[in-house]
Amino acid sequence: MNLIVLMKRTFDTEEKITISDGRIQEDGAEFIINPYDEYAIEEAIQLRDKHGGEVTVITVGNDDAEKQLRTALAMGADKAVLINSEEDIEEGDQYTTSKILVGYLKDKEADIILAGNVAIDGGSGQVGPRVAEGLGIACVTTITNIEVNGQNVLITRDVEGDQEKISTSLPLLVTCQQGLNEPRYPSLPGIMKAKKKPLEELELDDLDLDEEEAAPKTKTTDRFMPPEKAAGRILKGDTADQVKELAALLRSEAKVI
């Protein structure tokens, strides 16, 4: 089985993040594999171990993403691909990323492509479905279980606090949600083996893509921080007086009644 995982390098939200001019300053920031992509990597490894084949992890970015790709290899992926777009595209969007990924995947005959449900930095959840659309294959999002039987696939997915069962077939792209599995930590032997596993680096020219084809379709016109919230107010006195004061504040200050 040919299993492909789409991975993104993201900043670690549990570490200190510095914001300047509405942008995260990368100097000194810690970067990790997007947590939802870890579910995708783990599920791909489990599917490979059960059905055979190999797992390839792909990312679009710059040389700094090699660290996260090596981590994926240490988890158990077989090989990795870095599509370096830094010199060609200064700042892309979801269209850019999906266009590049489709350019790479169009002749790879993947059985299952796995991606994270969302990236914790942008949170758009667009790349997976866009890739599926570009490849002309089925797409199921926010999955919490997947069972493969030959060409047939049974999936459970989250839908607004409930679950939905879907029957589909290969080839297929799925986006992975919390609850699908428990991602493993790289072991010391896995880390040592990862150093010898293949990591291929490509550029847009290798995919017969130029800058115009992958140019972003969106433009950021402004970035700003949300306004600071005013301190809460504690009402004192008898309950009846508090109710009157609260009603007056809701009318005069909050303007909600």
In a domain, 248, yes or no: no
CATH of the domain at 137: 3.40.50.620
In a domain, 229, yes or no: no
In a domain, 228, yes or no: no
pTM reported for the whole predicted model: 0.84
What's the confidence (pLDDT) of residue 113?
98
The string of DSSP codes covering the chain is: -EEEEE--EEE-TTS---EETTEE--TT--EEE-HHHHHHHHHHHHHHHHH--EEEEEEEE-GGGHHHHHHHHHHT-SEEEEEE-TTT-SS--HHHHHHHHHHHHTTS--SEEEEES--TTT----HHHHHHHHHT-EEEEEEEEEEEETTEEEEEEEETTEEEEEEEESSEEEEE-TTS--PPPPPHHHHHHHTTS-EEEEEGGGGT--TTTT--S-------PPPPPPPP----S-HHHHHHHHHHHHHHTS---
Domains contained in the chain, number: 1
In a domain, 257, yes or no: no
Highest mean pLDDT among 9-18, 80-89, 129-138, 234-243: 129-138
In a domain, 227, yes or no: no
What's the confidence (pLDDT) of residue 19?
67
**Structural domain of 117:** 2-207
Binning pLDDT at 50, 70 and 90, where does residue 93 land?
confident
